[in-house]
Amino acid sequence: MTEALQLHLGAFARLTDDDRARLARIAARHVREIGPRRDLVREGEKPRAMILILDGWAATYKQLRDGRRQITSFLIPGDPGDANVFVLARLDHSIASITPVRYAELSQADFDALVVESPSIARALWGHELATASIHREWVLNVGQRTAFERIAHLVCELFWKLEAVGLTQGFRCDWPLTQADIAEATGLTSVHVNRTLQQMRREGLIEIAGRKLAILNLARLQCVASFNPDYLHLGGGAADLGSSSRQGQ
Amino acid sequence: MTEALQLHLGAFARLTDDDRARLARIAARHVREIGPRRDLVREGEKPRAMILILDGWAATYKQLRDGRRQITSFLIPGDPGDANVFVLARLDHSIASITPVRYAELSQADFDALVVESPSIARALWGHELATASIHREWVLNVGQRTAFERIAHLVCELFWKLEAVGLTQGFRCDWPLTQADIAEATGLTSVHVNRTLQQMRREGLIEIAGRKLAILNLARLQCVASFNPDYLHLGGGAADLGSSSRQGQ
DNA sequence: CGGCAGATTGATTGGGGTCAAGGGCTGTGG
DNA sequence: CCACAGCCCTTGACCCCAATCAATCTGCCG
C-alpha cells in the first residue's frame, strides 16, 4: 500500500506512471514493521537510511536531559522522514511509532538512484522538504503565540487536512490514535490542561474524540477559532484555492 | 563581501575555487539594499527570487490576523532565505530587515544554472535546507518546553555560534542589533518579561548587552543553563567534536 | 478479577502576561 | 549646541492561564 506515498509526493511534482512504479518498487524493497510506542531512530545516531511511513502513525520528537519532551511533527502514511541521512552527520531528532507502523527504509544508494533516474521524484522530495520546513514554522507560531485552545484546534485541523490529502478520512471523521499526553507534548501543554481544553471543545460542539476516532462537528468554526489557514501545508494544486476560501471564514 | 556566504555553504559540501567564483559572480548580480525594519518579502506573495543575505541582520516571521507575531528565524550574513521560490506556490512567511541589509536576489534561472553547473553547490544548498529544518525543530522545543530564562539563553547561544561560524565575532563579543521586543517575538514571551530575564542573566554574570553589542561573560555556564547542544546547527565538520565536548559541560 | 494505561477531576500554585507610567539614549532640526 | 521626539528600556502592581500535585475513575486486556 504505497498509495498514500504516491499521493503525498504527487502534490509537489507531476509524476509519470514510470515514476510511480519506481517509487513503489523501491518502497517495497526494505519494508519493516514495528510495534506501537517504540523508537524507529534515535537522536544523535549516525543516520543509516531515510524512512518512509507506509502504514500507521509516528512522531518525531526531541528531548531535554531532564525528560521534557517535545513532539516536532507527526508522520502519517505517505510521509517521508527527513533526508538528513545524506548530508548531515548526526540525527537531530528521534522518531517514535504511535500505532504499529509499517515503513520502508531507503539506503543512500536507493535514494541516489531514485534522484538520478527521475528528476520529478527529486523535485517532489525537495518540495516535501520545503513543505516540512513550512510546517515547522507554523508550529513555532502555534506554540509561541496561540492559546491552549487555539493550539489544539490548530493541531486537529492540520492533521485532518493531512489525512484528507492522502485519502484517510471518512467524511469529517478519521482515526485518532493520539493520547492526550501526545497532544500535550506536541503543543507544549500538560496532559491535564489538554484534557480540560478538549472537554471545552466538545462542549462547544467543535469536535468529538472517542475510541481512537475523531469526528469534526464544525470544521469551519474549528478553523476559525484556530486561525488555521491551510496554505502552509502546501498540499498540491488545490491548496491555494481552498486556502483563500477558508480565509474568508475568519 | 560574499565571504560569509562561502563560509556558510562550505560547511555542507567541499566547494572548489570554481564553485566559489561562481557563487561570488551570481551573488554580485542582483544586489539590493534596504533600510532597517522593512519587509523584504511578504507572506502570501508569489515568490520571485531566492534571497541571500550579504550584510546585516534580518528575521523571518509569521503573523496572526490579530497582530500576534512570531519570529521563526534570524538571518545573518551568509544565510540564504529558503528556496520556496522554486517549488511552492506561495510564501508562507515574511522576511524583514532588522538592521540595514544588503542582499542578493537569485532568479529561478540563476538558481537552476548554479545547481546544474555545480553539484557541490546544489548539495550545499540542500544541506542548508536540512539544517534550517533542524533549527526550526529546535525552536519548537525551545518555545514549547523551555522556561523564559532557558529560551533566551538558548537563543543567545544559537546566534553566537552562527555568527562565529561566519567570522562575525570578536572573542566573546559580537554585534547585537536585536531589541528586547525582537527577542520577545522570537521566544514567545513579552518584552517586559524579556527585560526582567535579561537583567537576571546580567546579575548572574552570564551576559552583558549594551549599545547594540553583546558580550558573553561565561559561555560554558550559559550553554549549560540553556541545555544548548550545538549539534542541531550542523555547522560543518568541527561541530560534532565541539558539540560533544560542550555536552560534558551539562 | 486484577492490573495498567489513559482519562478525568479538584485544589492550589506560579510563571509569565497585562497595564500603565517613567527614564534614558540618540538622532535630527533649529 | 541645545531641545525635542521617538524608540527603547525599565519598573511596579496586579491578574490569569496553565502547571502542579494528587486522587479517582474508566475501559481494556490477560
CB atoms within 10 A of CB B191: 13
Q: Which residues does chain B have within 8 Å of residue A234's beta carbon, measured at their own beta carbons?
A: 88-89, 92
**Closest listed residue to residue B228, CA positions, set B139, B154, B134:** B154
CA B17 vs CA A196, B20, B23, B30, B150: distances in Å:
60, 5, 10, 22, 41
A236 touches chain B (CB under 8 A): no
3-state class of A68 per DSSP?
A: coil
Cβ–Cβ contact B115 with A under 8 A: no
Q: Between chains, do A188 and B92 touch, taking CB under 8 Å as contact?
A: no
Residue B56 pLDDT > 90: yes
Residue whose cell numbers read 544548548: B228
Identity of the residue in B12, B65, B70 whose CB atom sits nearest the CB atom of A250: B65
Tell me the average pLDDT of chain A.
90
Q: Is A45 exposed, middle or buried (0-12, 13-18, 19+ CB in 10 A)?
A: exposed
**Cross-chain residue pair B87–A146, CB shorter than 8 Å:** no
Class of domain A148-240 as given by CATH: mainly alpha
Q: In whole angstroms, give the CA distance from residue B74 to residue A10.
A: 32
A104 close to A25: Cβ distance less than 8 angstroms: no
What are the residue boundaries of the structural domains of chain A, listed by start?
A: 3-136, 148-240
C-alpha cell at B196: 526582567
Lowest mean pLDDT, pick from A176-180, A200-204, B35-39, B106-110: B106-110
Residues of B in contact with A143 (CB under 8 A): 140, 143-144, 188
Strands (E), chain A: 31-34, 39-41, 50-55, 58-63, 69-75, 94-97, 101-106, 169-170, 173-175, 207-210, 213-216
Question: How close, in Å, is residue B179 to chain A by CA atoms?
Answer: 18
A6 touches strand C (CB under 7 A): no
Residue corresponding to grid cell 507554523: A138
How do residues B212-233 score in pLDDT, each as one tens digit?
A: 999 999 999 999 999 999 999 9
A32 and chain B: CB distance < 8 Å anywhere?
Answer: no
Cell 502504514, residue located: A55
CA–CA dist A126, B171 (Å, integer)? 38
Q: How far, in Å, is the CA of B222 from the C1' of nucleotide D28?
A: 48
Q: Do strands A39-41 and A94-97 pair parallel, antiparallel, or not at all (unpaired)?
A: antiparallel
Of residues B11 and B82, more confidence is placed in B11
Residues A15-30: tens digit of each pLDDT? 999 999 999 998 898 9
Instruction: Report pLDDT digits (tens) over A206-235.
Output: 999 998 999 999 999 999 999 999 999 998
Average pLDDT over residues A102-120: 90
List CB contacts of B200: < 8 A, sequence separation 6 or more.
B149
Look at B232 and A92 and tell me if their CB atoms are within 8 Å: yes
Nucleotides of D under 7 A from a protein CB: 7-13, 17-22, 28
Chain A residue whose CA is closest to B141 = A70
pLDDT at residue B141 is higher than 80: yes
Q: In terms of Cα–Cα distance, which of A99, A82, A69 is closest to A41?
A: A82
In CATH, what number does B3-136 get? 2.60.120.10
- Please, which residues 78-97 of chain B have a Cβ atom closer than 8 Å to chain A? 82-84, 87-90, 92-93
